[in-house]
A and B are shown apart, each in its own frame.
Chain A
Amino acid sequence: MRMLLALYRALLRLYPPAFRARFGAEMEDVFVAALAEARDPLAAAALCVRELRDLPAAALAERAAERRNERRDRMAALPPAHHTSRREMAGVLVLVVVYGILPAAINLLIPYWEPPQSSAWLFAAVLLTPVAILPLVALWRGMPRWSLPLFGFGLALLSAYQVGGAFERTGFGQIRWTDSIYLVQFVFAFTIWIGAPLLGFAFYGVCALLPPLRGFARRVHADWTLLSFTLYGGGLFVLIVTLDDYNYDGPWMIASSLCLAAGAWAYLHAKSKNRKIAALLLGFLGAMAVAAVGKALLYPIQSYGQHFTVRSEVNSTLMHALWFAAGMLAPALLTLLPPPPAAQEADPAPL
């Protein structure tokens, strides 16, 4: 009996402390009473087997329920949209630094440098850790604002390679009915960035369907600029695509990345939705404008064929900026729609 009780108490320790404090002693009393009243040794043995079998499973279920509740509470306690901490800004900067500033700075300091074979894994780890670890941390912590651009970076990547690739396979992206390079660039930019807002809305839909992420979906529903801020992270990928294959583009990449960071800072500090939209628009267009100026100035020292000119290169940047900005702001523009009629009726008439 004493050994059984010791074993029962040990199994009770598997429960979360709060549950144990509330029900532990009572459960032990009930177990002792049930054991004492067992009509024969066989019934007592059956009782013990049932208890020893069920208790660990029930304890683990309680721990899982407690974790779910903690996550729900944490999401409810997320800071209001206008509150910005240094940690939040640091989270946003990870993306800009790792994928924008760091590669450009290395390229600037040591042109044409590639990591040696022996330490390639270290550089791969530095580049891949943010995309591999931070989204998991963010999902665990209820998708805080600092993590959203990181998801947007991934969505832009998917848009360019998957949606853009699908367009390419259909031949739509390679229009042959015109010789105008400007029109080709217009259509090409459309095909690779149209997926970003579509994937953004799909991302919102998936979050709305999955119970652990519904809190995030509710926050987006209350403030659609959050989805635009998510897509804003893809702006860095647009910059990478825009400046791709340009020699000596390091300073321009760094300056453009800093423009994006400034836009994110302004967004996180903006108190009204209109200011948030303005921060995203100016941050992204500012970054693309810097990239366009950089391309125009760097063009003479590139070795491009006659098919491309300074004007076509600037036009290409403009097209990327136009289509991506339109897609990025599509969710935020939902906030500018008039409220539904029921809500309008509920509003008190102005005095």
Chain B
Amino acid sequence: MTSPTGDPPPLSEATFYILLSLVPGPAHGYAILKETAELSGGRVALSTGTLYGALKRLLEQGWIVEAPQPDGAATGGPPRRAYALTEQGRRALAAERARLRQMAAAARLHLGEEGA
């Protein structure tokens, strides 16, 4: 999905942090949940419903893919499913970063470094 300018549409805060949490490498659901809370300074506390709804959409969009993780097998439990960022997902994240940077620059220009 792209905007008329060809860029991906602006991301929701939850989607942004979910994608950001996958930048270091594949992660399973619970790790994403914790990382999201940490990255946002505890401001974005996702419920499992919101998290998996977002993961499903990101899988459908091709921004993330499933990546089986062997740690579940090592502990004898069921293999945990991990999620990894795709190149398309990275591009969406980069576009969002550029958008946020532009917004911040505009705000700096009009409000100054200290804000209004």
Contacts and interface: CB of A to CB of B under 8 A. Distances in A.
B47 A58 contact: yes
Contacts, number: 52
A51 B47 contact: yes
B53 interface: yes
A54 B49 contact: yes
A33 B49 contact: no
A33 B34 CA distance: 11
10 interchain residue pairs of minimum CB distance: A58-B49, A54-B47, A55-B49, A30-B29, A27-B48, A54-B49, A23-B52, A30-B30, A33-B30, A50-B47
Contact of B29 (A26, A53, A61): A26
Contact of A30 (B45, B51, B53): B51
Interface string B11-37: 000000000000000001110010000
Contacts of B80: 26, 29
- Which size bracket describes the interface of B in this complex? 10 to 19
Interface in A44-58: 50-51, 53-55, 57-58
Contact of B81 (A26, A33, A34): A26
Interface of A: 19, 22-23, 25-27, 29-31, 33-34, 50-51, 53-55, 57-59, 61-62
Given A19-B56, A26-B80, A62-B53, 6 more contacts: A23-B56, A31-B48, A51-B49, A54-B48, A55-B47, A62-B56
B55 interface: yes
Tell me the dominant secondary structure on chain B's binding face: helix
A22 B78 CA distance: 14
20 contacts: A19-B52, A19-B56, A22-B56, A23-B52, A23-B56, A25-B78, A26-B29, A26-B52, A26-B80, A27-B52, A29-B80, A30-B51, A34-B30, A51-B49, A54-B47, A54-B48, A55-B47, A57-B49, A58-B49, A62-B53
B40 interface: no
B75 to A, nearest CB: 12
B50 interface: yes
Tell me the dominant secondary structure on chain A's binding face: helix
A61 B29 CA distance: 20
| A53, A54, A57: most-surrounded residue (chain B CB, <10 A) | A54
Contacts of A55: 47-49
Contacts of B52: 19, 23, 26-27, 58
Given A23-B52, A26-B81, A50 B45 contact: yes
A43 to B, nearest CB: 10
Contacts of B55: 23
A4 to B, nearest CB: 13
Contacts of B50: 54, 58
Contact of A29 (B29, B51, B56): B29
Given A26-B81, A27-B48, A58 B53 contact: yes
| A27, A30, A34, A50: most-surrounded residue (chain B CB, <10 A) | A30
B48 A59 contact: no
Nearest to A50: B47
A59 B53 CA distance: 9
A6 to B, nearest CB: 16
